[in-house]
Amino acid sequence: MIVVTEKCVGCATCMLVCPSRAIKVEGKAEVIQEKCEKCKKCLNYCPVEAIKWVE
């Protein structure tokens, strides 16, 4: 599962690159788990390493 940690600054880079439009950002990123395809793109693109993968 994709999890957004406290480090998130709300820059929305993850939202811009998510192919399934599964992320909403307003101050902080929120993942809509039902829409998430678990491709991990957001995790790689986050500039501050705020996204973690939790089994």
Partner 1 sequence: MRVAVVGAGLGGLLAAANLLERGYKVDVFEKLPFNGGRFTNFHYKGYEISTGALHMIPHGSKGPLAKMLRKVGAKVEIVDSKPNGTALYRGEEIKVSKKTFPLKSRLKFALYCLKNVFREVKLSELEKNLDEFSAKFLRAFLGWSLSLTPSQLSLSDVYPIYEATYTLGGPGIPIGGCKAVVDALLEVMESYDCRVKREKVRAIRMESYGLSLHFRNTSERFDAVVSDAGPVETYRLAGLNVPKLEESRGIKYSIALKEPLIDHTGVMFTLDTRRICGVNQVTNADPNLGERHFLMAHQPMITSNVKFEIAEGLKDLKEILKGYEYEVLVIQSFSDGWPVNRARAGRDCSNETPVKGLYMVGDGAKGEDIEVDGIAIGIERVVKEIEKEVEKR
Which residues contact partner 1 by CB under 8 A? 7, 9-13, 15-17, 25-28, 44-45, 47-48
User: How far is residue 40 from each of residues 5, 50, measured CA to CA in Å?
Assistant: 15, 12
Burial of residue 51, with CB atoms counted within 10 A of its CB: 0-12 exposed, 13-18 middle, 19 or more buried: buried
**C-alpha triplet 17, 25, 42: angle, nearest 5°:** 30
Q: What residue 2 binds from ligand SF4, partner 1, none (CB within 5 to 8 A, per partner kind)?
A: ligand SF4
Nearer to partner 1, 10 or 38 (CB): 10
Binding stretches for ligand SF4 (CB under 6 A): 2, 4, 8-14, 18, 20, 22-23, 25, 29, 31, 36-42, 46, 48, 50-51
